[in-house]
Amino acid sequence: MAYDSVFKAGLFAGQTIMVTGGGSGIGRCTAHELAALGAHVVLVGRKLEKLENTCAEIIHDGGQASFQVCDIREEDAVKAMVKAVVSERGQIHHLVNNAGGQFPAPLIGINQKGFETVVRTNLVGGFLVAKEVFMQSMSKHGGSIVNMLADMWGGMPGMGHSGAARAGMENFTKTAAYEWGHAGVRVNAVAPGWVASSGMDTYPDAMKNMIRSLKDHVPLQRIGTEAEIASAIVFLLTPGANFISGNTVRIDGAASQGTRAWTLAKAKNSESYNGFHRAYLPDVLKEQE
């Protein structure tokens, strides 16, 4: 089997695309789709095993991939990592700034270290990677960047550290789009809602029932697939998006709209798209079936 992308074959042939957090979840899925469309994908992350596994999957499926182990929260490490990629590949055509992470806790349960750690991962790290990719490659050749956000418009109760970081990343996206546009660099973001991804299995047992009920709060009354996020990311990298910059695409089935005062009608006619041939359902959702 191969990735069943909605985009034309060979769309990114000859291009190098960096995907941070490419070893798992949405990053892994996006890397597979980009490789299936002809790109050489450079996977970036902290955990060697995950990067090796995803790289091996892509190569087994006939794609091109390599990886760089890097803690994106460390400026010197990011500079060295981007330099190594540019030295090896010559140019970074696109960046999927996907890496991130958080843990569930109310604000009063988050200490300074925990807050700063999440902000460094979800905001500072993304800034460092985007800046170095721009400085070392895109300022000369142009390119496009897609940053990763989340549904944080109504606040993020239970994950206030992540919400603050993601809101900062949205503003960074707008600023970078304006400042770097002269070099032919587009900067956009995607904001996924609730998605069936491996990250769901990292949360404690106490959250399982809440995770299973998420679909009931979405007007489409289902949660998204990794492939539905990946396809939006891919579109923002294509020539078809060449006049789109400084924007955020919400991919949440309209869950971020409306009010709880409105009762959702029973949904129909909404089917998920899942072109990812290596996707698997999180264990927490398997128990629902």
Give the integer Cα–Cα distance in Å for 223 and 146.
Answer: 22
Q: How much is the pLDDT for 244?
A: 98
Q: Give percent of the chain above pLDDT 70.
A: 98
Q: Which CATH class is domain 16-255+262-286?
A: alpha beta
Q: Contact, 170 vs 248, CB < 8 A?
A: yes
User: Could you tell me which residues are beta bridge partners of residue 45?
Assistant: 69
Query: Which of 51, 49, 34 shows the shortest CA–CA distance to 235?
Result: 34
pLDDT tier, 289 (very low <50, low <70, confident <90, very high otherwise):
low
Task: Render pLDDT for 216-266 as a digit per residue (tens, 0 to 9).
Answer: 888 888 889 999 999 999 999 999 999 999 999 999 988 888 777 777 888
Average pLDDT of span 154-180:
95
Amino acid found at 126: G
- What's the rounded mean pLDDT across residues 154-171? 93
pLDDT of 199 strictly over 80? no
Predicted confidence (pLDDT) per residue in 119-155, tens digit: 999 999 999 999 999 999 999 999 999 999 998 888 8
CA distance 31 to 52: 13
The token pair at 260 is 């709880």
Cβ atoms 233, 30 nearer than 8 A = yes
pTM over 0.85: yes
DSSP string, 32-62: HHHHHTTPEEEEEES-HHHHHHHHHHHHHTT
Which segment of 1-5, 167-171, 259-263, 284-288 scores lowest on mean pLDDT?
Answer: 284-288
Answer yes or no: are the C-beta atoms of 83 and 136 closer than 8 Å: yes
Q: List pLDDT tens digits, range 47-64.
A: 999 999 999 999 999 999
- Mean pLDDT, the chain, as a whole number? 93
